[in-house]
Amino acid sequence: MIRFDQVHKRYANGREALAGVSFKIEHGELAFLTGHSGAGKSSILKLIALIERPTRGQVFINGQNTSGVRPRGIPQFRRHIGVVFQDHKLLHDRPVADNVALPLIIAGVPKREIDKRVRAALDQVGLLGKERSRPLELSTGEQQRVGIARAVVAKPALLIADEPTGNLDPDLALEIMNLFRRFNEVGVTVVIVVGSLGRMVHQPFATLMTMGVVAVALALPLFLNLFLTNVRSATGNWNEAFDLSVYMDKKTGTGRTAGLAKQLRQLSDVAAVRVITADQALAEFRNDSGFGKALDALTDNPLPDTLIVTPAVPASTPQGTAALRGAIAAMPDVQSVQIDTDWVTRLYAMLDILRRIVLLTAGLLGAGVVLIVGNTIRLDILNRRAEIEVMKLVGASDGFARRPFLYAGIWYGLGGGLMALILVALAAVILAKPVESLAKLYGSPFRLQGLGFTTGLWVLGLAACLAWVGSWLAATRHIRGIEPN
């Protein structure tokens, strides 16, 4: 079952814990490892559990050379080994049943089977009925038995114990040793060395603070985007600002003008064409200018037929309107095409700057969300380092240990996203009345528009993704560096 072949272990500080150690423990044996303090007993257990690697020599566990176990295979390797610690290493914030079930949860055992095996393990150590008790409610001996139940619940072929009776009185120590003897009698190989985990901190106020910072970071670009959307809505549509005035040759008849309008409507770059005949133009001018009597003196209508061409949204740019203007000017019967190009260019430049500001702000604050959540998760990992060590000792992979922190990151993102939506909605409610009053002064029925349902879903999804990225970066980096000892 266990074989050490000329094993040496030297630590970075130069201390040599083991020098040429060789021994063999057969399957089904009950072995005691004794020696003075510093003799290397704990180092042997660490080599067996692959907490450490030998400097030289070879270690074989159940016929497998541990030097061939890659880092990714260590969690699976440890799932076949039960470990009992002198200081119990129980999770004090969880009931007894959850502590015992931890190796089975990590191994992916179905819940019904977990409940059955946990009760069986607790029955073996005499703690059936204590499933919902907290470890701190138990005596020292009972806590040690919980640790033993956790070590054997996955039915390992090898059970190792690091001074399991070191903190117990003689009567309790004898009771614990009898437990190990009973496990050995059913074929479990037991190695015993003869010679505290802090509770997870729950800080709801700190969680709300983190979500609040995320919410502010998301709300600013979201509000700027809402402002831009409402400005577009208030002006009808930006592409109407790029209308081209097409003046027809005076010799062109109404029929040919209508034909050209029909031809222009078929172009992909044109959204709409409005025809203003010469008679309509003169009538409008007569009504609006106040020069009716002067116009009566004219023998002929001096105004040509006119087409008002509204470009499609993709063509509503200085370059797009210039190209469309050139194409229309080259058509038959067109005398001239006019557009205030300088004003169009200035308008487009302002719009482009505003869009870029929104995108830049969103990018910077999005990176801020990643960093904020990442730092929060980093601190959480440091607070739960002991718990992570226990999880790795009972066979958890880095991915398994990382999972709850990824979930926490997603919740930070969803909470922050929801708070951002609430902030923007409140801002819209506060500004709705003043904006409506201002619109009425200009004779407009415009009302401030809030965020739509689809936009809200996108915000929540984006917030969750950004927070997940931050938590993944922090969890991957820091959990990888935590090794059990």
pLDDT at 170: 56
237 pLDDT band, cuts 50/70/90, is very low
Query: Is pLDDT at 401 greater than 90 in this prediction?
Result: no
Supply the pLDDT for residue 71.
Answer: 83
Collect contacts of 134-142 with beta carbons under 8 A, ≥24 apart. Answer: 134/92, 134/93, 134/94, 134/95, 134/96, 135/88, 135/90, 135/91, 135/92, 135/96, 135/99, 136/92, 138/96, 140/167, 140/168, 140/172, 141/168, 141/172, 141/175, 141/176
In whole angstroms, what is the distance from residue 343 CA to residue 258 CA?
A: 29
Per DSSP bridges, beta strands 306-311 and 244-248 are antiparallel
Beta-bridged to residue 21, according to DSSP, are: 7
Q: What is the CATH number of domain 2-193?
A: 3.40.50.300
Taking residues 464-481, report their average pLDDT: 90
Query: How far is C-alpha 198 from the geometric centre of its chain's CA atoms?
Result: 27
In the chain, domain spans: 2-193, 204-235+347-480, 244-338
- Least confident span in 101-115, 294-308, 356-370: 294-308
pTM: 0.50
DSSP string covering 375-395? HHHHHHHHHTHHHHHHHHHTT
**Is the C-alpha dihedral spanning 342, 344, 346, 348 positive or negative?**
negative
Q: How far apart are the first and last CA of the chain?
A: 23
CA 143, 149, 150, 151 dihedral sign is positive
**pLDDT grade, residue 371 (50/70/90)?**
very high
The helix (H) or strand (E) run that includes residue 189 is strand 189-193
CATH number of this structure's domain 244-338: 3.30.70.3040
- How far is residue 411's CA from residue 474's CA, in Å, rounded to a whole number? 15
Higher pLDDT, 419 or 289: 419
Quick: pLDDT tens for 164-219: 766 556 566 667 777 777 777 877 787 777 652 223 234 567 778 888 888 888 88
> Does position 469 have pLDDT exceeding 90, yes or no?
yes
Structure tokens at 138: 């138990």
pLDDT at 245 over 60: yes
The rounded mean pLDDT for the chain is 80
pLDDT in tens, 113-164: 988 988 888 888 888 888 889 988 888 888 888 888 888 888 888 888 877 7
> Quick one: pLDDT at residue 292?
60
